[in-house]
Amino acid sequence: MAYVIAEPCIGTKDTACVDACPVDCIHPKKDEEKFGSEEMLFIDPVECIDCGACVPVCPVSAIFAADDLPDKWADFTQKNAVFFGR
């Protein structure tokens, strides 16, 4: 299981989660080339250690444990994984 970033991140890309993540598994970061072209941020499902540290810092409540992801955003599990080629 991993945490998933969902629809509220689109157009937000706050990046507070990037700073909160202890294993640096949220991308693209501000200094990465894809930050400008991607509409949201993603969590690497392989590297995520399920610590939950990113959840409370998100200003738009876009991050969910996989089990708690609302059904309407179910496709975001794959969207996050695809960004990392998973």
Contact footprint for ligand SF4 (CB under 6 A): 3, 20-21, 23, 25-26, 43, 48-54
Residue 74 to residues 22, 56, 68, 71, 77, Cα–Cα distance (Å)? 25, 21, 10, 5, 6
Q: Nearer Cβ to ligand SF4, position 10 or 66? A: 66
Q: Nearer Cβ to ligand SF4, position 26 or 62? A: 26
Q: Nearer Cβ to ligand SF4, position 21 or 69? A: 21
Q: How far is the CB of 44 from ligand SF4 (least distance, A)?
A: 8
Q: Region of 55 please: left (phi>0), alpha (psi -120 to 50) or beta.
A: alpha
